[in-house]
Amino acid sequence: MKALSLGMTIGILGGGQLARMLSFAAARLGFRTIIFAPEKDCAASKVVGNHIIAAYTDQLALDHFSRHSDVITYESENVPIESLHYLASQAFIAPHPKALEIAQDRFFEKKFLNEHNLATAPWWGVEDQRTLIAALTACGGDGLLKTRRFGYDGKGQVRVTGQNRNIARRALDRIDHVPAILEGIVDFSKEISMIAARGYMGDIVFFDIPENFHKYGILQRSVVPANLSSKTVRVVQEITRTILQALHYVGVIAVEFFVDSKECVYVNEFAPRVHNSGHWTEAACVVSQFEQHIRAIAGWPLGSPLRHSDCVMQNLIGNDIMEIPRLLEESGTFVHHYGKEELRSGRKMGHVIYLS
Ligand code: AMP
């Protein structure tokens, strides 16, 4: 891949707040952006030069998109993998579609992690009532049933306790009997994530590690730095390095972990993209996760991931966004509004970063 020149165009599949923040970073480095997103009024549409509004499966629109993009990346994990493969036959895509193909399916993701000797929660594939009962028996009658695909922010997940036929049927009813996995419960004391970037030459940078706090499966807050021993930090970096190298990855990745009271770490999942738990880098680091991703996929040198301040990133969810005028009056706050027109409860509308 030849490095992009100033003024060239980065194509982004997906038009949410991540695409919006990637577009800001790209513009600041002198690139143009074009997004491909089915929704007309998406968060990124207001800040990009060009927006193709079409279904992800529309081949003519995909052709048009690839003709106008010098490199293509994705922010949405729900882009059909077939569309990505189609684009890959005519354009350069980073990260490689293989990363998304694995991350889109919890079964493939866990299998990939375990094949690389990376510890996860114990897990079993579930296709029907019989396989669910067998899995529940194997994990001692307490587990999390998770749909293989399209689960995010805690959606598509059911806690199952017990192991009889009725319990299994009711749990499967709640996920519409789609293919799933059952995970054993990890008794974690912390949830953390690693945001890292890898360039075309295999160079890797790691950001500091946030501790993440969720409510109803949705990230509420990231506190940086997480209180971890330097040994655990190194373990987390090496796990992330293994994933990046195995995928010949280019761009920013987010790997989420559980840490137990003995500081044993288990990979929960990874996202082949910039991530909500990395938003703090925007205000607390010289080079943010967004700029790092743009640099990586453009073939430019990666920047310093150094953090100059401790900080807390708080998501502004639903009505929280009304707090912005008050937050602006506090010193040391960095406010980010995603420009979404429709305010819905549970919807991520913006975030605030408190620097200290
Ligand atoms: P996920 O969508 O897999 O990231 O899960 C959403 C949230 O559910 C996580 O952030 C955890 O708080 C919780 N969770 C997921 N899997 C497990 C597990 N195996 N054991 C305990 N808690 C879990």
The pLDDT, as a whole number, for residue 155 is 73
pLDDT digits (tens, 9 = 90+) for 323-339: 999 999 999 999 999 99
pLDDT digits (tens, 9 = 90+) for 32-60: 999 999 999 999 999 998 999 999 999 99
- What's phi and psi for 318, nearest 5 deg? 55, -130
Neighbour-count burial of 233, counting CB atoms closer than 10 A to its CB (0-12 exposed, 13-18 middle, 19+ buried): middle
Cα of 302 to ligand 1 centre, how many Å?
31
Question: Is the Cβ–Cβ distance between 275 and 254 less than 8 Å?
Answer: yes
Q: Which of 110, 144, 175, 191 to mutate to test the pocket of ligand 1 (most atoms within 8 A of CB)?
A: 144
Shortest-distance Cα residue to atom 19 of ligand 1: 185
Helix (H, G, I), strand (E, B) or coil at 262: coil
Residue 163 has pLDDT above 90, yes or no: no
Token pair of 134 as six digits: 């067998």
The pLDDT, as a whole number, for residue 156 is 87
Helix (H, G, I), strand (E, B) or coil at 339: coil
How far does the chain reach from its first CA to its final CA, in angstroms? 40
Q: Is 140 left (phi over 0), alpha (psi -120 to 50) or beta?
A: left
Number of H helices, E strands in the chain: 11, 17
Alpha helices in the chain (DSSP H): 17-28, 59-67, 81-88, 97-103, 106-115, 129-138, 165-174, 230-246, 281-284, 289-298, 324-328
The pLDDT, as a whole number, for residue 75 is 96
Kindly report the average pLDDT of the chain as a whole number: 96
Q: Which residues have CB under 8 Å from 335's CB, separation 6+?
A: 324, 327, 328, 350, 352
Cα of 191 to ligand 1 centre, how many Å?
9
Cα of 312 to ligand 1 centre, how many Å?
21
Cα of 150 to ligand 1 centre, how many Å?
15
Average of per-residue pLDDT across 155-173: 92
pLDDT digits (tens, 9 = 90+) for 104-140: 999 999 999 999 999 999 999 999 999 999 999 999 9
Shortest-distance Cα residue to atom 11 of ligand 1: 217
Question: Is the Cβ–Cβ distance between 303 and 295 less than 8 Å?
Answer: yes
Question: Is the Cβ–Cβ distance between 318 and 345 less than 8 Å?
Answer: yes
Per cent of the chain over pLDDT 90 is 95
Question: Which ligand 1 atom sits nearest the alpha carbon of residue 121?
Answer: 19
The pLDDT, as a whole number, for residue 217 is 85
CA–CA separation, 170 and 83 (whole Å): 35
Number of Cβ within 10 Å of residue 282's Cβ equals 20
For tokens 């003709």, name the residue.
67
Average of per-residue pLDDT across 7-18: 98
Residue 152 has pLDDT above 80, yes or no: no
Residue 153 has pLDDT above 70, yes or no: no
The pLDDT, as a whole number, for residue 150 is 84
Around ligand 1, the residues with Cβ closer than 6 Å are 121, 144, 151, 154, 183, 185-186, 191, 214, 217, 268-269
Question: Is the Cβ–Cβ distance between 95 and 270 less than 8 Å?
Answer: no
CA–CA separation, 300 and 296 (whole Å): 6
CA–CA separation, 295 and 299 (whole Å): 6
1-35 burial, b at 16+ Cβ within 10 Å, e below that, comes to: eeebeeeebbbbbbbbbbbbbbbbbbbeeebbbbb
